[in-house]
Every structure is written in C-alpha cells, then in structure tokens.
Structure 1
Amino acid sequence: MKRKTLLCAAIAAAIGIPAVHAAGQEARIGQSRIAQPAAEIQAGARVIVKYRSGTLESTSNMAKARAVESAAARAGAGVRSARGAAVSATHMRRLGIGADLLRLSQKLDRAALENLVREISADPAVEYAVIDERDYALGPVRKLEAQPQFTPDDPFFAQYQWNFRTDNPGGIDAEGAWDVNTGEGVVVAVLDTGILPEHPDMMGGQLLEGYDFISDAFVSRRGTDDRVPGALDYGDWNPVADECYAGSPVQDSSWHGTHVAGTVAETTNNALGAAGLAHDAKVLPVRVLGRCGGYLSDIADAIVWASGGTVAGIPANENPAEVINMSLGGGAPCDAVYQSAIDTAVANGSTVVVAAGNSNSNVVNFRPASCNNVVTVGATRITGGKASYSNYGDLVDLSAPGGGGSADPGNGGWDGYILQAGSDAATTPDSGDYLYSGYTGTSMASPHVAAVAALVQSALVAAARDPLSPADMEALLKDTARAFPVSIPASTPLGTGIVDPTAALDAALEEPCDPEIEDCGPDAIELVNKVPVRGLSGGAGSEALYAIEVPAGVTGPLSITTSGGSGDVSLHVSLDEEPEAGAGQWNSTRPGNSETIRINNPAAGVYYVKLVGERAFSNVTLQARHR
C-alpha cells in the first residue's frame, strides 16, 4: 500500500508530542498490498457449507461433520496427512447467512482443498460449499448551520485534501454538499481493520462501539478466538515474509480502517488535522481484518450484523447501518457466501459500497466487487483520469478520488494521495504517534461514495422524505456522477463518472411532481392539432421531443407525419411517456423524410412524439392531426 505520513504542530500540541516530532513532513512509503489471486492465497483448514433445508445435515452438527469426512474419503489420497491419516471435521458455528463453518483436522494444499470442496458440493444434501479463504484490505500502492460554501478550519483541508475541493479536475464538491447536509443521523459501517478510537481527530462523537468479528487469535492478535465488543485495531503488521501467502512481504501496520473511517466522518471544523465528507454521520467500526487479512466467514457474519441481521452468539446491533463500506477483497469472483451476506444486508435496507480492487484488471475476477447488489467503485487521480492501479470493467458503477501516488506531484507530492487520520506505529497501537497518512487505492475511493450515500439519506430524512432503497441509491449515485474530465479508455471503463455529492443531493431533494397541480410529463414542444411545424433541421443522432394532447371523445385516427426537406428522419410515438428512439409504442423509420404514424381510435391522453435525425436533415415539416 502506498502511504505517506504527516504530523502537524496542531496535533502534536493536542497529544503532547515534543516539537521536534512536529517539524517535518517526512515521507514513509510502505510496501504495496493488493488482493492476491486465488491461486496464491494460502490454503487452510476451514470450509463453509450450506446444507439444503429438510436434510439431516441441516439440523445435526454431527451429520454436518460426517458429510465433510465422507467427501474427504471420496476425494482420495490427496486429502490426507503426510502419514496417511484421514481428514476429520469439527463444526465451529452457524453463520448469519444460514451456512455452517467447519474446521478440518489438518491444513491441505490448494489443489487438495479445491478437490475436497468439489466433493462436498456434489453431495445432494449440499446447496454450496466454499473455501473459507482470507481477504485483505485493498490498497496499492449535531448538524452545522453552515454559511454558503462552508469551508472548514481544519488546517489540512485547503492544503492537502484536493479530493474534497473543486480547484482541481479530480476533486468533488464537498463544500457545496456541506451547504445542504453533513450526514447527521446516518450510520455508516466500516468493515475493515478496526479503528484507533483515541486518535484526536476521531474523538468528535462519531464512533459507535462496533464489534470485532475476527474468530482466529492469530489473525486478531487477541488472546482468544472469541469475538468481542469494540473494534480496536490491534495492528496488522507482518513480521515474517510469506506468512500470509506466497510472496507476502514484511510490513508495518497500516491502520487502514482508521483512514477509511476518516474519509467518511473525520471530525471537521475543529481546527485540527483533516476533514471528513459526512462528518456528522456515525461510524460503526466492524473489525474483520487483522494479521494476514480476514476470513470470509467472519466478513460474511459482519455484513449481516452490520445491516441489523442476526448472528448467533453476537448481541443485536442497536445501530443498523444505512450504508456499509468494504474497502477489502480477494482475487476470486463473487461466491455464494459473499452474495448471500450482501443480499441479506440489502434486504435489510443497507446500501453496500465496495472497492473495485487495485490490480489494474477486470473486476469480474475479484470479490466482493463482482457481486450483485453492490455499488462498485473505481479510483481516479487528481487529474480525474483513471488511477493506474484501479480495477475496471462493466461491473464498475462509478468512480471517486483514490489518488495516483508520486505520478501526481504538487504540495510536496501530496496531491498524489488521499490524506486522513492515521498513525506511524509500526506494530501495536501504542508503538507510535497519531498523525495523518496519505494513501492511494480504491480503498480510498470507496468511502467517498459511502459518505455521499450517507449525505443523501440524511438530507431526505431531514426533509421528511423516505430514504432511498439500496437499488434507488445505486441508480441515483450513477445517474448524478459527473463526466470524467479526461478520456477513459473504452478498454478500461470506470463507470458512469466521478461521484458528485452536490448533484446527488440536488436530485434526491428535487420536489416530486404533483399531477393535480402541474404537468408532470417530460419537457416537450407542444403540437397544435392540424397546425404544421415547418423548417425543422438537425444533425445525425439529434433528437427533439414534441407532444399533442388528444381529448376524450375523439373518434377518428391520430395521424403524425413528417414531409419535405432533405436528409433522413424517423418518428417514434408513445402515450403518456417519452418514447425511446427506435422503441416507441409506434414507430416509422422509412428512408428519407416521409414518415407516417396512424393510430386508430386513440385513447385520451398526451402523445409524445420523438423526431430523430438518422442522418443530418433540414427544412422538414412535422404535423399531427385528429378529428
């Protein structure tokens, strides 16, 4: 993960660090961490199995274990220890999605584990079986009464947070959005490495208690395998090369979850450090990643719980999240476990926002970014162009600032990074100082979108309007994204554009049309019965919308024609709605300009007429008539 760290005099004074530590802006660039391809993830000894309802295995833990052991026997010699001992299985727990987690008596290599899962899946009692692999944090490299164009007094906002400002092509209009809403009343769950709750810029009341879902003491660095309340980040440093997967580096703790949570809701306008985009929202930190990432089974349970769902053995979540952010992933397509957990969260009303990944590859091969019912976010640079590392593809919904690293110099090189709360502690939370870190990655882009979703939901509730469903939120975010300021290659699509908080708020808060007091139809030029409209012209691909109202009692046909002039036009007509070019209820697409649509016994209503230039045309006459 590319990282730059910064400690300013203000925070040094706040936490009592000698002035010598506050003087410099020394850079510390860490190792890259990206989601590893599935073939490189270290195989383990845990599998997730969903048994079909009505089977013995669905009700008996002993039968669940026996079914896995039988599959291991069928799988053959590869699924045995070095001494030839058969694999046995122990039931660990039931997941929130209704599947079961089982631990094998020994670790298997990748091929043997995949073979075992195939055998388990072939059992008629099994709905699906998935390896319980580890995924990783992604990274390469009270409401304010604001004055118009509210600008916070956080010292790093104007100096370093280019991503929240419009004085560069790649930033978003945070200040304009803050004139409308700051996220009050909305809960954003951040499923990540946990949180540093005593960071001075994360102590403004935004942090809820959260929960630590890591169920493996090696990964969590806690004393037991138990899950516990709170989401303290114990550190995710790796002291030994290759301990996580083949080629995994020695690296310091990232404090990734604190940085991501800071983008969502870092304390703002407190004359300290940096700003957060939805800074009056609440952050629900949910720890799912630690040393060597986090298990799929833990992540799935955390998704369900964060949304307000039930997970056995865990107290009910008293603060269900309207928005869930996951800046994490693995190098494999979406699987049944992830999809089931996400579907549960969406059914509970949570909008799930995920990072696309940082492998400069098609997102179809990465999870959870390739899952259905998620908002998948790519990363852009300060130029507004594609960040070199960002995954891409048709499954990317939209993009947000993720930074571009040293390729975008300025402000001492900080224009290449997303700056938020962090620490220079190399290992445990108390082994260093609180400061600010500059990261790049889709991990950094995703919380921008999650925060915009929080702003929208808060604004709607404040306006006594219903919040959006996850599907409607996704559509709003995509429809209101602004166009990329630079060309994005067709081979590496990054969605509909860059997230635009002000446009999203404006669209969400637009007053719905009341048909009893106003015309709620699309904007169209009125056609008067039997009165021709002459001299029409347009270019190839141009469209113009007209409308004629047919009253009740009309007995003769409605005739709509074009004639004269040069070029080639087509006609498309629909009743009470705007027709799509080529897909109206009635269409005329003959070569040239002589088009006719005849509607016998027309129903009363407004008929919308779309005139399309198939080629450039001029001096065309359009007429509608009825008796």
Structure 2
Amino acid sequence: MNNNVFRRGVLAAALAAAMASTVSFAAAVSPTGDPARMDLTSLQGQPTFNRFIVTYRQGSSERANHAAAVQTATAALNRAGLVRAGRSVAGAPASVSMRFQRKLAVGGDLLRTSRSLDRTEAEALIRQLSTDPAVAYVVPDVMRHRVRDVAASTLLQPQTVTPNDTYYAKYQWNLKAPDGTVTTEGHANLGGTNVNNAWDLADGTGVVIAVLDTGITTHVDVDTSLGDAGYDFIVDSFVSGRATDGRVPGGWDTGDWTTEEPWLTECTDATHPPEDSSWHGTHVASTAGAELTNNARGMAGIAHGAKILPVRVLGHCGGYDSDINDAIVWAAGGHVDGVPDNTHPAKVINLSLGGPGTCKAKDPAAQAVAAANALGAVVVVAAGNEDIDASKTSPASCPGVITVASTGITSRRAFYSNYGKAVEIAAPGGGVYENDADSGTPVNDGFIWQALNSGATTPVPNDTLYGGYAGTSQATPHVAGVVALMQSARLAAGMALMTPAEVLATLQQTAHAPSVKPPANRRIGAGIVDADAAVRAAVGDGDATVLTNGVPLMGQSGSTGSSTVYMLSVPAGVHTLSLRADGGRGNVSMYVKAGAAGGASDYDYKSARPGNRESVVVPRPAAGSWYVTVVGETAFTGMNVVGSFRAPR
C-alpha cells in the first residue's frame, strides 16, 4: 500500500509548475457519472486509493473475462485523463495502468492501479467507470479500521487473580441486571444487560460466533479451540505483516502495531497516531463468549458455551473492504475462491470495525451481508465512535445488519457513540467517566473489561493480562453474544433457529428503555439489549408460541374447546398494539392479557365475534410480554394469528 500521505503537498507544487506546458488534469476530467452505479461517499476515508471494486453486469463479457474487464477499466482511465501518451513532464503524475487482482465472493472484480490516485483522480475514475454500460456498480476498496476505543488506564486494571471468575463481581457490571444495584465503585447500575439471568436458560452451546477483527491470541482464560479453524483473510503483505501476499489458515492475531517502519510513515497521522498492537479481536471475542466462565479466574463471557471462530481481517493500518466482504461470506458458510470452505459456519458474525461511507444495497459490503443473511447468519456491527450519524459510516449503514450504539452504566448514550436511524439497538460499551459524562476522571465501571495481551508488538503466548476498553466495539459483542444465547436456547428446545429478521425483531421488542432518554436527534434504536427477556421471548414462556412483530403465524388449527396461547414481546414506547386472528374456517374467541396467559375468566381484553375474525387494539401498551389465548368455540382450521406494532425510534 502506497498512501504517500505526506507527499501530497510536494506533488501538488510540482504539478502546478508543470501546468504551463501541459494540459490541466482538471480540464481533462469529465464531471459525468451515473449516481445509481457508483458510490463516492467513502472517498473521505483516506487520502489516496489504488484499489477499486467493479461489479460488471450479468451477461457482459467483462463479468466472465478478466482481460475484457481490464480493457474496460483502462478505457475509463483514459477518459479520466489518467493515461498519458509520450514522455511525462517532470513533476507531473505518472500515467496510470490497470491490472486485475481477483474475483470477490460477491461477484465483483478487484482492480488495482499502477500508482496511488489522490481523491480527485479516484473520483474521476469512478465516475468514468460508472458510465460504461458493462458496469453495474463501482466503489473504492477502502481501508477500514477497528473502532478506535478508549483504553482504560493501567492504574484501573486488575492486578492479581484470586478465586470464581474473580473479577466478575467488581468489574462486569455490564452483564448484570439494570436494577439500580450499587456497584463496588459506588454507582447505581442502570445500564446492564441482564445476562446473569439469561444464563439460567442458555449459555450459547451449539452456536458458532465469528469475530471478524484482528484475530485472537492465546490466553489462560480464553477458549481458542477454533483458532486454527479460523482464517487470515488479509491478502496484502503490507497489512498482514507477512513476507508475501496471500491468505493463510488460522485466525491468529500476529499484531497490528504502527510504531515502526514501514507502517509508521505510511499509516500514521494526527487522526491515527502510532500505536502498539491493540489485541482488539481478543477483547471483543472474550466479551462475546470466548472468555472461560465459572472457572475460578478472571472475567466471564456472555455466550461462553458457544464456539468463537476468529477471522483476521484487520492488520497493520486496518483492513480492506475486499478482504472483509469475502470474510463475511466465508464465515457464514459461503464459498470464496482460493480458500477452503469453512468447516464451522457461524450463525452470528461480529464486526467491530468501520469507516466513512454510506452503504447501499448495491454496495459489495451489503451484498456480502445479504449472502450471510441468506445462509442464516446474523451480522452485528458497531455504530462507530465518532459521535456522528451512523448512516454516514459503513458497514454500520448496510441493509441487513444489526447496528449497535454504546451506553454506559447510567444507561446514557456514551459521549463518543454514533447514533441515528441506522442504529437498531444499544448495549454497554462503557461511558469512561463518572456518571457517563464526556470528560472527567475515568472510573472502573466506565469500561468493559476482558482478556487482553501484554505484547507491545507480537503476542505473549498464554498471557494473563486483563484490560478495559470503552467503545461501540465493546457494545457490539454484547449483542452478538445475546443472539447466540437466543439461538442456543432454541436449539435446546428443539426449535428451528430464528431468521436474522426474527432475531432483530425480538431484540428490539425485548430491549429495555434507557433511564436517561437520549435526545430526539441522538437516538440509539429500540433501547438497551436485555439478554434475559430476549432469550425468554426466543423460546416462548411455557407453552406459549412466540409471535414476531408484524409476521403472521399461518395455518393455525384447533378442536372445539381447545386453548392455544401466543406471546408477543412489546418494547417501551409503543403507541398502539394490534392483535388479530382471521382466515380459515371455524369459530374462535380471543383473550388478551399482559404479563401472563389468560383465558375466558381472566383477561385484560377480549374479542368474541362469530367466526374467525377477532381483533384487539391496545392503546399505549405496557412494555413486556403480551399473551393471546385463542379458544376454539368450534373446531377451526387455516387461521392466521398476527401481533403488530410500530417500534419506537
């Protein structure tokens, strides 16, 4: 990668001097382009670009023929004024050529220019590519970064390990009930996730969570049993730190430090200062479930019965979209050319990474998510730490993902957390300061604590270090872990796994409202994830059949005198709840009750019309579980039952 960040000023001066005897680059560039076939929003993410993802139309020769694809791209380079015949004038940018790199899992071609282009040149090329009839969509292959979290001071870190999950009581407020219990630091816990109660029902057994991050390191308190089964998807040797280009087996974190050359010059600036290795993937994976739990040492993990599949997509300076998108498909069980198929397909994928850009349905990242969703994988993504609208970041704005904002122990939105309509739900990421303020003195329960590594560059094997981070990176694995608990509970009950859409609906329906309500222009989705409520809703309560908001349960039947119970989880803030039965043949009555199943002698609302058309509308329903009991006045068949509401935003 040749970003040449600090050479732009010299290059600009040389180009200005040469313009007296050459044609202006700006004059040669056509401002045309097809907005429906390109995305320019992520060009603000870095100063230079030399990789582009071009998706050619089905049936085009370019789609099947690499040489034709390069020829089309070269023509676009020429129209953009980047191909210069004859001898270059001293100081002017060199002529640009194009070469094919590889075909991506979602069908796009990764093309690479012979030199890095500045933003103006890159935009000109993308615009020209978008005008070609063979091109369906074109985006720059952007370098994404781990969400840059706030690290806890070493003065706050645990110093010794003593005997069960020794640090759970003091440090892991985030896994406990948000009932106001005062922590050992003297703060009322209003922001926890109720994981401790959910453990009575599920621990994640039978589910694989893929963590697409920096990889994982060995630690005395971390399950790395799928470390070798994971994969390192980083192709570029500059990013991976290996001697040669190419992907390799194993999801191990070999370090992502930028304190030394060549990364010090190429990857650091005021926004990205030099840093030791972050061991980000180990921390994230530990929260989701890799942390060994109830083993008389360290911390606890959420879905500690699940298996964590580490996939390395971030290295020195970050990771490219092209690698990340392939890894999403592979993690879910899809095929990627040149990589052995995943033998442990994940039903949950965690992405605590991102950067600038708006992700549309045609974007390769969105297509990768859609492919994973189609394979049954729930994709959970960090909203980002820039205190901006998450719709301006990717992959947080991709359709099909569950985007997670960050809250602190008071339930307040963390000062750094992104927000907005792209956010579906919130989870503890840590507020850093006293009372989740935006400044002050850092406190222990302002962070999320998990296993880390003490190596400054390369990892220390079987390390014993624990550390605190605060960020949406930490909020995201809370949701990923809870999803694994939900799916695990369904497996244990002999039920089919929920679809990604059903998972999202259930998470939102069962979320608890923050005690500190965010302002209208800083919304963080349906509320804070509630693990216990989500797991109970996923499997139903007793004999109740779970309803998903707005999704009809088709073909219901029963005999005369039969009683069938359905349950719908309703979040706080709903304006109107509608419960209906219709269709088919026969005659039923419907009894509705909040909090417990009712019947003909015990109900809050009822509907007892002749036939199968029954309806109850509840204005401003209380948050919680609502039960619908359908009684067969005569035998009935082919009836549909549906509960619906508009979730608060």
Q: 2:314 aligns with which of 279, 285, 289?
A: 289
Find the counterpart in structure 2 of residue 116 from structure 1: 125
Give 1:160's aligned amino acid. Answer: Y
2:261 is equivalent to residue 201 of structure 1: no
Deviations along 1:569-592, one digit per CA (max 9) or x if unpaired, are xxxxx932335879xxxxxxxxxx
Is this contact kept in 1: 2:83–2:97, CA < 8 A? no
For residues 570-589 of structure 1, the aligned pairs below 5 Å read 575-579=613-617
Is this contact kept in 2: 1:425–1:432, CA < 8 A? no
Find the counterpart in structure 2 of residue 22 from structure 1: none
Find the counterpart in structure 1 of residue 601 from structure 2: none
The CA distance in 1 between the partners of 2:358 and 2:72, in whole Å, is 26
Match of 2:512, SS state, is: coil
Give 1:51's aligned amino acid. Answer: Y
Find the counterpart in structure 1 of residue 160 from structure 2: none
Find the counterpart in structure 1 of residue 485 from structure 2: 455
Match of 1:250, SS state, is: coil
User: Please, what TM-score do these two structures have when normalized by structure 1?
Assistant: 0.75
Find the counterpart in structure 2 of residue 42 from structure 1: 47
Q: 2:267 aligns with which of 241, 244, 267?
A: 244
Give 1:575's aligned amino acid. Answer: R
Find the counterpart in structure 2 of residue 260 from structure 1: 284
The CA distance in 2 between the partners of 1:337 and 1:502, in whole Å, is 35
For residue 67 of structure 1, report the CA deviation from its aligned partner: 1.1
Deviations along 1:224-260, one digit per CA (max 9) or x if unpaired, are 1110000111111112656326522111111000000
The CA distance in 1 between the partners of 2:615 and 2:81, in whole Å, is 63
2:484 is equivalent to residue 479 of structure 1: no
Is this contact kept in 2: 1:480–1:507, CA < 8 A? yes
For residue 140 of structure 1, report the CA deviation from its aligned partner: 3.2
Deviations along 1:197-216, one digit per CA (max 9) or x if unpaired, are x2111147465620000011
Going from structure 1 to structure 2, the CA distance change for 1:93 and 1:78 (only over 3 Å counts) comes to: closer
2:425 is equivalent to residue 405 of structure 1: no
The CA distance in 2 between the partners of 1:399 and 1:466, in whole Å, is 26
Is this contact kept in 2: 1:550–1:605, CA < 8 A? no
Match of 2:116, SS state, is: coil
Going from structure 1 to structure 2, the CA distance change for 1:188 and 1:486 (only over 3 Å counts) comes to: same
Q: 1:548 aligns with which of 586, 602, 608?
A: 608
The CA distance in 2 between the partners of 1:206 and 1:177, in whole Å, is 25
- Structure 2: 5+ residue runs without aligned partners? 1-40, 151-162, 182-188, 546-555, 569-578, 580-603, 621-636, 642-649
- Structure 1: 5+ residue runs without aligned partners? 1-35, 142-151, 525-543, 552-573, 583-603, 609-627
Is this contact kept in 2: 1:73–1:86, CA < 8 A? no
Is this contact kept in 2: 1:134–1:293, CA < 8 A? yes
2:72 is equivalent to residue 67 of structure 1: yes
The CA distance in 2 between the partners of 1:160 and 1:411, in whole Å, is 17
For residue 424 of structure 1, report the CA deviation from its aligned partner: 2.4
User: Please, what TM-score do these two structures have when normalized by structure 2?
Assistant: 0.73
Match of 2:110, SS state, is: strand
Is this contact kept in 1: 2:544–2:567, CA < 8 A? no
Match of 1:578, SS state, is: strand
409-418 or 108-117, larger mean C-alpha shift: 409-418
Find the counterpart in structure 2 of residue 592 from structure 1: none
Q: 1:163 aligns with which of 168, 174, 181?
A: 174
The CA distance in 1 between the partners of 2:283 and 2:132, in whole Å, is 44
Going from structure 1 to structure 2, the CA distance change for 1:431 and 1:291 (only over 3 Å counts) comes to: farther
The CA distance in 2 between the partners of 1:44 and 1:310, in whole Å, is 28
Match of 1:202, SS state, is: coil
For residue 217 of structure 1, report the CA deviation from its aligned partner: 0.7
2:207 is equivalent to residue 186 of structure 1: yes
Deviations along 1:439-471, one digit per CA (max 9) or x if unpaired, are 000000000000000001011011000110011
The CA distance in 2 between the partners of 1:183 and 1:346, in whole Å, is 19
Match of 1:106, SS state, is: strand
Going from structure 1 to structure 2, the CA distance change for 1:605 and 1:302 (only over 3 Å counts) comes to: closer
The CA distance in 2 between the partners of 1:258 and 1:138, in whole Å, is 14
Give 1:518's aligned amino acid. Answer: S
77-86 or 338-347, larger mean C-alpha shift: 77-86
Instruction: Give the CA RMSD over aligned residues.
Output: 3.0
Is this contact kept in 1: 2:506–2:534, CA < 8 A? yes
The CA distance in 1 between the partners of 2:371 and 2:638, in whole Å, is 42
Match of 1:577, SS state, is: strand
Is this contact kept in 1: 2:454–2:465, CA < 8 A? yes
Find the counterpart in structure 2 of residue 106 from structure 1: 115
2:295 is equivalent to residue 270 of structure 1: yes
Is this contact kept in 2: 1:65–1:88, CA < 8 A? no
Is this contact kept in 2: 1:426–1:432, CA < 8 A? no
For residues 552-563 of structure 1, the aligned pairs below 5 Å read none
The CA distance in 1 between the partners of 2:567 and 2:351, in whole Å, is 38
Find the counterpart in structure 2 of residue 12 from structure 1: none
For residues 367-446 of structure 1, the aligned pairs below 5 Å read 367-408=394-435, 413-430=443-460, 434-446=464-476
Find the counterpart in structure 2 of residue 225 from structure 1: 245
Give 1:171's aligned amino acid. Answer: G
Find the counterpart in structure 1 of residue 81 from structure 2: 76
Find the counterpart in structure 2 of residue 618 from structure 1: none
Is this contact kept in 2: 1:79–1:112, CA < 8 A? no
Going from structure 1 to structure 2, the CA distance change for 1:581 and 1:171 (only over 3 Å counts) comes to: closer
For residue 85 of structure 1, report the CA deviation from its aligned partner: 4.2
For residue 412 of structure 1, report the CA deviation from its aligned partner: 8.4
2:91 is equivalent to residue 91 of structure 1: no
Is this contact kept in 1: 2:258–2:268, CA < 8 A? no
For residue 38 of structure 1, report the CA deviation from its aligned partner: 4.5
For residues 122-141 of structure 1, the aligned pairs below 5 Å read 122-141=131-150
Is this contact kept in 1: 2:42–2:358, CA < 8 A? no
Deviations along 1:365-403, one digit per CA (max 9) or x if unpaired, are 000111111111100001111100000001211100000
Is this contact kept in 1: 2:54–2:108, CA < 8 A? yes
Is this contact kept in 2: 1:159–1:411, CA < 8 A? no
Find the counterpart in structure 1 of residue 586 from structure 2: none
Give 1:388's aligned amino acid. Answer: F
Q: 1:279 aligns with which of 304, 308, 318?
A: 304
Match of 1:549, SS state, is: coil
Going from structure 1 to structure 2, the CA distance change for 1:304 and 1:165 (only over 3 Å counts) comes to: same
Deviations along 1:513-561, one digit per CA (max 9) or x if unpaired, are 475221557999xxxxxxxxxxxxxxxxxxx84423225xxxxxxxxxx
2:235 is equivalent to residue 215 of structure 1: yes
Deviations along 1:38-93, one digit per CA (max 9) or x if unpaired, are 42513221111111111111111111111111100000159998555432111111
Match of 1:395, SS state, is: coil
The CA distance in 1 between the partners of 2:146 and 2:209, in whole Å, is 18
Give 1:126's aligned amino acid. Answer: V
Find the counterpart in structure 2 of residue 306 from structure 1: 331
Give 1:395's aligned amino acid. Answer: A
Match of 2:400, SS state, is: coil
Deviations along 1:395-443, one digit per CA (max 9) or x if unpaired, are 2111000001133599982111000110222211149954011000000
Going from structure 1 to structure 2, the CA distance change for 1:251 and 1:460 (only over 3 Å counts) comes to: same
Q: 2:165 aligns with which of 154, 175, 178?
A: 154
Match of 1:453, SS state, is: helix
